[in-house]
Amino acid sequence: MAVTAKSVAESCEAARRASSALGSATTETKNVALAATARLLGERIGDVLEANATDLVDGRDAGLTDALQDRLTLTEERVEAMADGVGAVASLEDPVGEELEQRTLESGLDLRKVRVPLGVVAVVYEARPNVTIDCAALTIKSGNAIVLRGSHYAERTNGALASIVRDALSEVGLPEDAVVLLAAGGHEDLAQLATQDDTVDLLIPRGGEGLKAALKEVATVPVIYAAAGNCHVYVHSAADLDAARRIAVNAKVQRPGVCNAAETLLVDAGVAADFLPTALAELREAGVELVGDQRARESAAGVEIGAADEGDWRSEYLDLKLAVGVVDSLEEAIEHVNRYGTRHSEAIVTRDDRAAEEFTAGVDAAVVYTNASTRFTDGFEFGMRAEIGNSTQKLHARGPIGLRELTTYKYVVRGDGQVRE
């Protein structure tokens, strides 16, 4: 098990010391460490699955929902996919050292703006052990040390995975403390992590609104919130209704326990009677519990649909449940999305380009889709090969957080004796 026995402060300090060596490591050395990680994942797949099986038993005994159990579960195929993902990150261009700007100043000074690692990144996440590998791979390639704090539901699995990465780092002469896994403690430990101003450069929480609220109360380190995804699909009056049905069902059903799954379906009143009976029947057949406003229930044509309340419009279900509403206009749909959404991913289905442009411009979200499922908001799908989270904020990073979002920059200035007068 790689879970550290050190205090939170000691663990963060160890990561800070390791970050210096990793930040100056060559691209080749970092890629060799990632190759070793991918190899060890294959060699130790039995250990990983054994640890995961124990976590799953404990999770069932603790009453985890089916959606959380799915997020916690690893299979041979999923571990192999993690290894492939590590290899894909290794193949990406190294952002460290990239020259963003160069110019000669009036003083004759040569000024360059260059990408550099952030330093130490801390990630708090829940029952998704693949995050351990994804985050470690991205921070290694971007030259950052990482402090990981996973869910206690996945502690054995995370420990087995973190051990693999730490051993891979040691193989190539990099400090193993470039990847540190904290024990899954309580709110006190979380508060300690969120206040390590001297050692942690960025904290990324991957979880729901409860985690976000808890950190907002105490965090003194910079935070990028990869928080809740209350995502919407809006079926416009000019939509292709067959395409709209496929998109709505996919966005809800394909993997309901993730942050880019749709939680609300909005339908224009002009097409509600034609669209809703078939779409709702398919969603019900897929096991989705439906709640809706009065007009949605009146258009359901016998499909079972309960009454939605104010809380339903604000809920990230992360499960097979969907709120359904009927709106009178594009403007009303935009207003609804901006009132209840979490700035994650929103979609409009329409054949009207002007309506699509108005929705895209009017909706406040990191990712806005026209005629596509919200399920594509993902670092891998966006060509980043992996992600450390999806930012719902506007500063520094927005949407999937990949390699470049894990860097900052410095100005490097060269002169030949200039002094300022």
Single out the residue of 252, 254, 262, 229 nearest to residue 366, CA to CA.
229
Mean pLDDT of 311-323: 95
Please tell me the predicted confidence (pLDDT) of residue 325: 98
Mean pLDDT of 336-345: 96
| Domain 231-376, CATH | 3.40.309.10
Tokens of 416: 């030949």
Residue ranges in 44-99 assigned as alpha helix (H): 45-61, 66-72, 76-91
- Domain residue extents for the chain: 8-226+388-414, 231-376
Among 44-48, 144-148, 181-185, 410-414, the range scoring the smallest mean pLDDT is: 181-185
Please tell me the predicted confidence (pLDDT) of residue 5: 67
Single out the residue of 274, 280, 278, 275 nearest to residue 292, CA to CA.
280
What percent of the chain stands above pLDDT 70? 99
Instruction: Answer whether 152's CB lies under 8 Å from 233's CB.
Output: no
Q: How confident is the model at residue 157 (pLDDT cuts 50, 70, 90)?
A: very high
Instruction: Answer whether 89's CB lies under 8 Å from 378's CB.
Output: no
Please tell me the predicted confidence (pLDDT) of residue 379: 85
Please tell me the predicted confidence (pLDDT) of residue 1: 57
**pTM for the model:** 0.84
The fold for domain 8-226+388-414 equals Aldehyde Dehydrogenase; Chain A, domain 1 (3.40.605)
Mean pLDDT of 269-273: 98
Please tell me the predicted confidence (pLDDT) of residue 4: 64
Please tell me the predicted confidence (pLDDT) of residue 8: 95
Among 116-130, 272-286, 364-378, the range scoring the smallest mean pLDDT is: 116-130
Specify the amino acid at residue 228. A
